[in-house]
Structure 1
Amino acid sequence: MRKTSWALCAVAAGAAVAVLAVPTITTDSSHGDTTVTSITVNGGRPILLGPDRPATFPVEVQARDGSGIRAVDPIGVWGPNYGVLKVGPMRCTATSAQASTCRGTVTVDPKRKQVFNDEAGTWFVDLKVTANDGDRYVGKTAAGFSLKRAAKLSGSGVPTAVRTGQSVTVKGWLARSFWTDNRYHGYPEGVAYLQFRPAGSNRWTTVGKAVSTVSGTVSATAKVTGPGDFQWYSPGDKWTGDAASAELPVRPS
């Protein structure tokens, strides 16, 4: 087990010990009329974490109780394979006599080995909300959010001299961040779409599709229908962020 910043539940049977997959920051249970009305992480957007730079994202909790909210504490976030990150102090502002909005931030730095590749995916907020009268709300999976490995795409292969109606083979390289060695590496078996946007238009149309090789390369052939731009686009998946290449201009003679 790689992380021990929170207590993890364990059960023993004879000489064998099984570690449960859900970290917990409190053994308390909910009591009274305290409720959480919303939890928002990073404004509702996935966190796309690159290989070597820290990222800081906000956590906002809205809660209410008949007596008012005293605090949101403790609070943390956890993910697959014992991924655990701390949330900074939550500062609460009363929005009425019963309700408060509490905000804090999380910073994750892959260079400090705070996350590993297999911890990308769906993460959860684990928290305790305490009211002024002692009531409380406790949730170990109070809200979910996505922490993904950032991806990047490059493109090449569009010739400078090309004719309308000519077929061209456009190549690319799809990579994603490796939190283990703090570098980008080719992403195998990722889906990428070759898109074209005619000159003067804002709309991209898919003209080809590729699945990346073991080294992350992609390739597709499309017919040049006129001046415009090609680009590669990958929508990502549950564990990997989306990415688009730079525009690849084509100006047929």
Structure 2
Amino acid sequence: MRKTSWALCAAAAGAAVAVLAVPTITTDRSHGDTAITSISVNDGRPVLLGPQKATTFPLVVEARDDSGIRAVDPVGVWGPNYGVLRVGPMRCTPSSATASVCRGTVTVDPVKKQIFNDEAGTWFVDLQVKANDGDRYVAKTAGGFSLKRAAKLSGSGVPAKAAKGQRITVQGWLARSFWTDNRFHGYADGVAYLQFRPAGSHRWKTVAKAVSSASGTVRATIPVTGPGDFQWYSAGDKWTGDAVSQEMAVALR
């Protein structure tokens, strides 16, 4: 196991391993009328993490109790394969006599090895909400969100001019971030769609589908139907973000 489990204070994993302080969720149980009315991570959008740049995203918890909310603490987020990330201090602002909105942020830096490739996927918020009268709400899965490996797509092979009906081969490269070595590498077996937008239109239409090779290459051969733009698009999956290539224009000759 690469990371320590939740603990009330910093825990040592052995004399040769550095001490790692992580957020803690106690084994306390909920009691009283304290409740969460809503929870949002990154405004409901997936967190797309590249190979090098640190990303900070918001966590917002709305809670209520007949005595009012005192704090959201402890709090943390956890994911697959013992993934654990810190949540900054939650600052609670009363919205009424019984309810509060509590806000904090989570920062993850792949360069500092705070996350690994196999920890992409569905993550959860683990927290304790404390009320002024001593009531509390405790949940290990108070809210879920997606933390994905960022992807990118490039395209090539579209001529500047082509005859109507001429068949062209459009290539692309689908890659995703590797948090292990902090680089983008080709993504094998990913699905990408070649799309075309006729000149004067705002709507893209899928004209071909391709599955990436071991190196991340995608390729499709299609006829030119008129002037316009091509692009590659990948919707991603549970572990990988979506991506779109640059637009590639073609004119008729």
TM-based fold match above 0.5: yes
| Equivalent position amino acid for 2:126 in 1 | D
Give, in angstroms, the shift of residue 6 of structure 1: 2.3
Provide Cα deviations, 1:59-102, integer angstroms capped at 9, x if missing partner. 00000000000000000000000000010000000000000000
Checking the alignment, whether the CA contact within 8 Å between 1:24 and 1:140 is kept in structure 2 is: no
Structure 2 matches for 1:1-253, cutoff 5 A? 1-4=1-4, 6-7=6-7, 25-253=25-253
Give, in angstroms, the shift of residue 242 of structure 1: 0.2
Give, in angstroms, the shift of residue 166 of structure 1: 1.0
| Equivalent position amino acid for 2:215 in 1 | S
Provide Cα deviations, 1:22-43, integer angstroms capped at 9, x if missing partner. x962111000000001110000
Q: Secondary structure at the match of 2:241?
A: coil
Consecutive unaligned residues of structure 1, counting only runs of 5 or more, are 9-22
Among the aligned pairs, what percent are the same residue?
Answer: 77
Q: Secondary structure at the match of 2:142?
A: strand
Would you say how many aligned residue pairs link Structure 1 and Structure 2?
239
Checking the alignment, whether the CA contact within 8 Å between 2:24 and 2:74 is kept in structure 1 is: no
Checking the alignment, whether the CA contact within 8 Å between 1:151 and 1:243 is kept in structure 2 is: yes
The whole-number CA distance in structure 2 between the counterparts of 1:7 and 1:70 is 22
Give, in angstroms, the shift of residue 160 of structure 1: 2.3
Give, in angstroms, the shift of residue 251 of structure 1: 0.7
The whole-number CA distance in structure 2 between the counterparts of 1:219 and 1:114 is 35
Provide Cα deviations, 1:110-142, integer angstroms capped at 9, x if missing partner. 000000000000000000000000000000011
Runs of 4+ in 1 over 4 A off after TM superposition: none
Q: Secondary structure at the match of 1:111?
A: helix
CA RMSD of aligned residues (A): 1.2
Checking the alignment, whether the CA contact within 8 Å between 2:24 and 2:75 is kept in structure 1 is: no
Consecutive unaligned residues of structure 2, counting only runs of 5 or more, are 9-22
The whole-number CA distance in structure 2 between the counterparts of 1:95 and 1:200 is 49
